[in-house]
Amino acid sequence: MSLINYSSKEINCKIVYYGPGLGGKTTNIKYIYSKVSPQNRGKLMSLDTELDRTLFFDFLPVNLGMVKGFQVHFHLYTVPGQVYYNASRKLILKGVDGLIFVADSQIERFDDNIESLENLGENLSEYGRIIETIPMAIQYNKRDLPNIVSIAELEEILNLRGLFSCEGVAIDGIGVFEPLKFVSKEVLRNLK
């Protein structure tokens, strides 16, 4: 639900990084922030708690140029990974234009990925939104660790829709920009 400001000729689009706690959502945002030139980014804001790295969101407007005479800004948010913070997760999803699901590839986190993906669908439905209608990509993060689930198994369980997906090591910037580029293009396509 992009926000269009006709007086300032701006379109504001919201992309949300969703996934289990400590799966790499904040690491993705911080890496992107470090690579975007200072004149094309806003202030990165983060709130930390004792149970999770991000309580509310990381905020990053990225200037992407003009669409039909309007300046486009993307706002990137993360949700807290802990289901304990579900009210915050729901709030951040309000008005979402695109989603990047950051799955934790570690074997011991497999069920957390499933729970988080189900939670995403439930929270969207409370806004009358259907997950299948929102541009989305999946990043299988932490592929550098020794105890990980195979891509084939992750795809079989988490990617039933055949979404764009890629392997990632967010801390090293591997597979960070690919899902963002894909989702951004899909969001822009929906605007036109």
Averaged over 144-158, what is the pLDDT? 98
The CA distances from residue 61 to 74, 76, 128, 141, in Å, are 5, 7, 26, 23
Using CA atoms, how far apart are residues 26 and 162, in angstroms rounded to an integer? 25
pLDDT at 58 (0 to 100): 43
Lowest mean pLDDT among 68-72, 118-122, 140-144, 183-187: 68-72
- Listed by start position, the domains of the chain span 3-191
Residue 55 has a pLDDT of 38
Tokens of 82: 């802990």
pLDDT for 48 beyond 70: no
CATH homologous superfamily of 3-191 equals P-loop containing nucleotide triphosphate hydrolases (3.40.50.300)
The strand ranges marked E within 57-170 are 60-67, 70-78, 98-104, 136-141, 164-167
pLDDT for residue 57: 45
Q: What is the pTM of this model?
A: 0.91
**Distance between the two ends of the chain, CA-based, in angstroms?**
13
